[in-house]
Chain A
Amino acid sequence: MTAPSLASALVHRRPAFTLGRWLEQPSVFSWLMVTPPVLFLAALVGYPFFYGIWLSLLDRPVASEGTFIGLGNYAQAWHDPVFWQVVINTFVYTAVATLLKMFGGLGLALVMNQDFRFKNLTRALLLLPFIVPTVLSTIAWQWILDPAFSIVNWTLIATGLIHPPGPSWLGNPHLAMGSLIVVNVWRGLPFYAITLLAGLQTISPELYEAATIDGASAWGRFRYVTLPLMKPVIFIVTMFSVIFTFADFQLIYVLTHGGPASATQVFATYAFDIAMGGGQLGQGAAIALTMVPPLALLILAMAIYLRPDKTT
């Protein structure tokens, strides 16, 4: 066969190259789909994150060049008693609030899963704390817990349960932490309840029927049907909640600004005060970044739990 005839044969056998066909190849198309979000994440999450790490290694007052001091900022935080108070506060705040949200949210979801009058309206209202912008609802809480005009104290005094002036909800270190946790739970409960409710509705009624026939009580049905099937959902919601609560800022900044005497100061508020108020960007970045290892462990746990081979 001569060369030109070979070429013409090949042209006939192979479909002509078109951009559309090339793009449709799975290996190309998948990259095409993945690239924009990767670029987006790299620009808006990756860059600030790595810039933050770089900042934390500098003695970098605002508006000046900064000098490299290695782990100096971390060492300074290590020797700062306020920092350790911040660590304890953050863990207490996160642990207590998350546990309360988990049990409360599960309870609420179970109730909402029942049939009752105005079910849909109640479900919609349930979402309100989650929908209202945090700063706005927190300002309302500020009034509810106000040292002079607290409606809680007013009610308790009016009913004769306590003597005036009543407790200082945001002024006493323990009460302040307790109040913040209550407000956080109030705001975060709907997220739990609605997500768990969605999970509950995927459980087939036949399983409950089978369990009932086998003689399972209400508790038995919950223990052996609901709970095992809900476990993945509960796990994921809890992880998300821990991450959000751990890095909480708005609520604490508005209600106590970390006071009284740093009793409610957490990572985010302390880092903000040091970086923005004190102009010590390096130190602020270091404090903020100490949040990363515990959160990274959580994300790792979540990633392991969600591995495809585990779910199949």
Chain B
Amino acid sequence: MTRIARRNLLKGAGGIAAILASGSGPALAQEKNVHWLRWTDFVPASDALLKGKVVQEAKKQLGINLKMETVNANDLQSRITSAIQSGTGADVIMAFSNWPQLYADSVVDVGDLAQEIGNAQGGFYDVSKQIATVGNKWIGVPWTVGGGLISWRVSWFKEAGYDKFPETWDTFREAGKKLKAKGRPIGQTAGHTFGDAPGWWYPFLWSFGGKEVEADGKTVVLNSKETVESIKFAVALWKETMDEGGLAWDDTNNNRAFLSGTISATNNGASIYIEAKKKPDVYQTEKGTPMFKDIQHAPIPKGPAGQYNSPGVFTDMLMSYSKNQPAAKEFIRWMHSPKVFGEWFTSQQGYSSGATKMWEKDKVWDIDPVLAPFKDLPNNGRLVGYAGPPNRKAAEVVTKYIVVDMYAKAIQGMPAEEAAKWAHGEAAKVYV
């Protein structure tokens, strides 16, 4: 049995006393920990990279123990809210769309870091910068820009007489009519979904010249001639060209419907094509050929007021309750550096554009020309809340599904004028 000599005990106690007095542990025992919370990626290979190689390299290169956690996209916002309310949780959290604006008071100003990364990589896109700033404060470091393009079945459109994807709403409606007559409707959700529904109906509204608020961010102008026109067109489009089950679709229904060959086109991220390409034996056309060879991507058609998309902007927020801020900053700088981010970016295969312009020239866009149109997304993007800022009010309008429900109500039979009036009233209550 080992005896504890009084002399040795005193030595040990002296050491502990010294640690207590200095307030910090010996150099060896000090560990750097960073907890990064993200949603489960639509490209599984990217999550595998983060949880495997990135965790190992963070330990090796920075000495940081990275706790990489992913949760279901639908659960992320409640996790953020409870983390902020309880003042404990992940140090760095991925935010989607205009969420950083909701949590602006609970994050650290990362201006130095963001500007350093932006300057080194050709500058951030406007959409990324707008989301990540409030006045001069940077409330996050932009990570990527995702978003939707219309995935469409080339052979089916060709059979209907269209060699390329319709560029305007009128041609789109004409083509859709012919396709629906053949049992191949267009598929789009008008349900309560966080991604696909706003991603389609906001650009639709903008392309007709409608907007929810003036640039002052106060004057609600949703009930306009343009909005009413867009609603009337939407109702006709829905009846004549679309799969009417779309009122019940969530963010995954259109993927399944497209891959099973029940719809001819749908606005979505690149996930449909990526999935079809990964499993050419599973997803096939009616002729028995791999479906991915029959898919192309096109932007949402042009309306009388232009052509838009609503990009999904991703931002990394450094939480102000975090006790590991220096390590977390060091980690963000490293993770967003061209070498490390580049590897993740490549794993996305074109599912995401970069947050900075440098990535437009990346070789990932040469690998597969079908995905190349995604690199132009951030340039044509507008953010929810247009023409006002994408702030807390705009987020509330999205959360209450006001714009989406305006169209959904009209599709279900409410007169266009009344639907616009209802939505205007609801939006006005938000922008008080």
The answer to whether A82 and B400 touch (CB under 8 A), given A148-B253, A168-B244, A169-B248, is yes
| CB of B254 to closest CB in A, whole Å | 9
A148 touches B405 (CB 8 A): no
A260 touches B256 (CB 8 A): no
A257 touches B245 (CB 8 A): no
Contact of A278 among B243, B246, B395 (CB under 8 A): B395
B396 touches A259 (CB 8 A): no
| CB of B183 to closest CB in A, whole Å | 8
B257: Cβ under 8 A from any A Cβ:
yes
Residues from 378 to 424 in B contacting A, C-beta threshold 8 Å: 392, 395-396, 398-401, 405, 408-409, 412, 422
Contact of A170 among B85, B103, B248, B408 (CB under 8 A): B248
A81: Cβ under 8 A from any B Cβ:
yes
The answer to whether A81 and B191 touch (CB under 8 A), given A63-B103, A260-B248, is no
Residues of A within 8 A of B425 (CB): 81
> Closest residue of chain B to A170, judged by CB?
B248
A279 touches B190 (CB 8 A): no
A273 touches B399 (CB 8 A): yes
Residues of B within 8 A of A259 (CB): 191-192, 247-248, 401, 408
B262: Cβ under 8 A from any A Cβ:
yes
Residues of A within 8 A of B245 (CB): 147-148, 165, 168, 171
> Closest residue of chain B to A275, judged by CB?
B81
B191 touches A171 (CB 8 A): yes
A148 touches B256 (CB 8 A): yes
B78: Cβ under 8 A from any A Cβ:
yes
Contact of B405 among A79, A80, A262 (CB under 8 A): A262
| CB of B244 to closest CB in A, whole Å | 6
B248 touches A176 (CB 8 A): yes
The answer to whether A147 and B422 touch (CB under 8 A), given A62-B102, A62-B103, A168-B245, is no
| CB of B189 to closest CB in A, whole Å | 9
In the complex, A170→B253 CA distance in Å? 12
In the complex, A94→B243 CA distance in Å? 31
A146: Cβ under 8 A from any B Cβ:
yes
A262 touches B102 (CB 8 A): no
> Closest residue of chain B to A61, judged by CB?
B392
Contact of A280 among B85, B103, B250, B396 (CB under 8 A): B396
In the complex, A222→B408 CA distance in Å? 49
| CB of B224 to closest CB in A, whole Å | 21
Residues of B within 8 A of A80 (CB): 426, 429
B422 touches A260 (CB 8 A): no
B335: Cβ under 8 A from any A Cβ:
no
Residues of A within 8 A of B81 (CB): 62, 275-276, 279, 281
B412 touches A279 (CB 8 A): no
Residues of A within 8 A of B194 (CB): 277
| CB of B70 to closest CB in A, whole Å | 18
A149: Cβ under 8 A from any B Cβ:
yes
**In the complex, per-residue mask of A274-302: 1 if CB is within 8 Å of any chain B CB, else 0:** 11111111000000000000000000000
B247 touches A260 (CB 8 A): yes
In the complex, A80→B422 CA distance in Å? 11
The answer to whether A82 and B426 touch (CB under 8 A), given A168-B248, A257-B193, is yes
Contact of A171 among B103, B193, B244, B257 (CB under 8 A): B244
In the complex, A146→B262 CA distance in Å? 13
Residues from 238 to 269 in A contacting B, C-beta threshold 8 Å: 256-262
- The interface size of chain A toward B, counting residues with CB under 8 Å, comes to 38
Q: Main SS of chain A's interface residues?
A: loop
The answer to whether A257 and B256 touch (CB under 8 A), given A82-B400, A168-B244, is no
Contact of B77 among A146, A168, A176, A276 (CB under 8 A): A276
The answer to whether A149 and B256 touch (CB under 8 A), given A62-B85, A64-B105, A258-B192, is yes
B392 touches A279 (CB 8 A): yes
The answer to whether A147 and B399 touch (CB under 8 A), given A171-B191, A261-B412, is no
A149 touches B260 (CB 8 A): yes
Residues of A within 8 A of B257 (CB): 147-148
> Closest residue of chain B to A175, judged by CB?
B248
B249: Cβ under 8 A from any A Cβ:
yes
A76: Cβ under 8 A from any B Cβ:
yes
Residues of B within 8 A of A176 (CB): 248
B106: Cβ under 8 A from any A Cβ:
yes
**In the complex, per-residue mask of A153-191: 1 if CB is within 8 Å of any chain B CB, else 0:** 000000000000100111111001000000000000000
| CB of A255 to closest CB in B, whole Å | 9
| CB of B394 to closest CB in A, whole Å | 10
In the complex, A126→B392 CA distance in Å? 48
In the complex, A258→B102 CA distance in Å? 22
Residues of B within 8 A of A273 (CB): 399-400
B84: Cβ under 8 A from any A Cβ:
yes
Residues of A within 8 A of B77 (CB): 276-277
Residues of B within 8 A of A281 (CB): 81, 85
The answer to whether A147 and B409 touch (CB under 8 A), given A62-B85, A259-B192, A262-B401, is no
In the complex, A169→B247 CA distance in Å? 10
Of A81, A261, A272, A277, most buried by chain B (CB within 10 Å of CB) is A261
In the complex, A64→B392 CA distance in Å? 12
In the complex, A190→B196 CA distance in Å? 37
Residues of A within 8 A of B398 (CB): 277
A274 touches B429 (CB 8 A): no
In the complex, A63→B190 CA distance in Å? 31
In the complex, A150→B392 CA distance in Å? 38
B103 touches A261 (CB 8 A): no
Residues from 52 to 66 in A contacting B, C-beta threshold 8 Å: 61-64
Residues of A within 8 A of B78 (CB): 272, 276
Residues of A within 8 A of B244 (CB): 165, 168, 171
| CB of A6 to closest CB in B, whole Å | 56
List 11 interface pairs A-B (beta carbons < 8 Å), by A numbering: A61-B102, A76-B429, A148-B260, A168-B245, A171-B191, A171-B249, A256-B191, A259-B192, A260-B247, A260-B248, A279-B392
- Known contacts A62-B81, A63-B103, A148-B243, then 16 further A-B pairs from the complex at CB < 8 Å, ordered by chain A residue: A61-B392, A63-B84, A63-B102, A76-B429, A147-B245, A165-B243, A171-B244, A171-B246, A171-B248, A260-B192, A260-B408, A261-B405, A262-B405, A272-B78, A279-B392, A281-B85
Question: Closest 4 interchain pairs by CB?
Answer: A147-B245, A171-B248, A170-B248, A171-B247
